[in-house]
Amino acid sequence: MREGWEYKTIENCTSIEYGTRVVQKRDGGTIYPVYGGGGKTFRMDRYNREDCLIIARFAMSPRCVRYVAGKFFLNDSGLSVKSKEELEQAYLNYHLLFFNDVIYHLGKGAAQRNLDVKAFRQLVIAIPPKPTQLSIVSELDKLNELIQIKKEELKDYDALAQSIFYEMFGDPVVNEKGWKVKTFGDIGTLERGAGISKKDFVEDGLPCVHYGQLHTTFGAYTRKNITFIPKDLFPKYKIAHPGDLILAITSEDVEGSCKSTAWLGDYDVVVGSDAAIFHHNQDGIYLSYYTRTKAFYNEKAKYAKGFKVTHISTKEIASISICVPPLSIQNTFANKIEQIERQKTIIQESIADLETLLASRMQYWFD
């Protein structure tokens, strides 16, 4: 315990209020976002919270603590936490964000994790004098600001890559440069991967790509896998060879449908069943960027089906049209993209270092 610091339960130094029950409906309003246990879901034409920390009560996800700036509506699946006089709100925000995992594990239930609010109220937080609180907040704010600056730089490089694509190839919707137009089936073959579950992952085995990684981990291309499966898991595997394009055929919405990455490693990888492998003789990076265009979106939207889960078949992907510039021009584009990616890697490493430092400083002050 630090000298001069007070240690109080959350219920004794904050105001905790439950959200308000509301009938959920799509596009319920046009002004204020609605938050609760599951995050932002729809919009309301009224608000009941402003600039405060919220905690999920029902259906808790691992990220159950968040600060929401501005005016919003909090439904009854969440509760808000505001500081009392002796406690700076910004200090409280950082403290409870650091406690996120502790709060998550206060959740009870098998099918659905629900917060034990009574136990949450009894959590003890450390409260230094106000000048120290402000100093801690200033330090952590500066680190967060540096992280956000670096993330904006990444967005700038992504925008640059997109602008290079359109500068070199034009808008595929109108194809003003007159490239040959073919279907994916004309320029290659598609096959569906074989079933891989996260529970199958092992420390050492066959390198594999799980469809979820296309949504969360890999960008336009990758040279390294991050997971492995046992060598004897299946009698027959579906393999992506160097240069192949791997596409997600299952997603939450049309936007995520056919999310792709070009496999550029110098070895083969096993691909799971909710993804497709496109074997071709084009440049994989060009193809990957093409799947991010409005033209490709318009085409895949015709086929992607489903309500809670969206699916598209390999046969449907094969029928989608694509502009096919000469391979030499595709390769020139890919070289420019790889230069950009090298710069992005430097920035990503810097972000990782800053996030490690931020976590270390939060642990120093709050653990």
For 50-63, what is each residue's pLDDT tens digit? Answer: 888 999 999 888 99
Q: Is the pTM of this model over 0.85?
A: no
**pLDDT of res. 22:** 74
For domain 180-324, give the CATH superfamily.
DNA methylase specificity domains (3.90.220.20)
Please report how many Cα atoms fall inside a 13 Å half-sphere around the Cα of residue 312, on the Cβ side: 27
Distances (CA, A) of 290 to 51, 248, 297, 298: 40, 15, 10, 12
**pLDDT of res. 342:** 95
Spatial contact of 289 and 272, defined as CB atoms under 8 Å apart: no
Spatial contact of 92 and 16, defined as CB atoms under 8 Å apart: no
The full set of domain ranges for the chain reads 6-128, 136-169+326-367, 180-324
**pLDDT of res. 102:** 96
- Which residues of the chain fall below pLDDT 50? none
In the block, which residue shows the tokens 């920390």?
53
In the block, which residue shows the tokens 């993209």?
337
Dihedral of alpha carbons 319, 322, 325, 330, sign: negative
Spatial contact of 290 and 256, defined as CB atoms under 8 Å apart: no
Spatial contact of 231 and 260, defined as CB atoms under 8 Å apart: no
**Which class for 118: exposed (0-12), middle (13-18), buried (19 or more C-beta within 10 A)?**
exposed
Judge if 6-128 and 180-324 fold alike in CATH terms: yes
State pLDDT tens for residues 291-321.
Answer: 999 999 999 999 988 877 899 999 999 999 9
**Tokens linked to 5:** 């610091």
**Dmax of the chain from CA atoms?**
74
Q: Which fold has domain 6-128?
A: Adenine-n6-DNA-methyltransferase TaqI; Chain A, domain 2 (3.90.220)
**Tokens linked to 175:** 């194809």
**pLDDT of res. 169:** 98
Spatial contact of 121 and 112, defined as CB atoms under 8 Å apart: no
Spatial contact of 300 and 124, defined as CB atoms under 8 Å apart: no
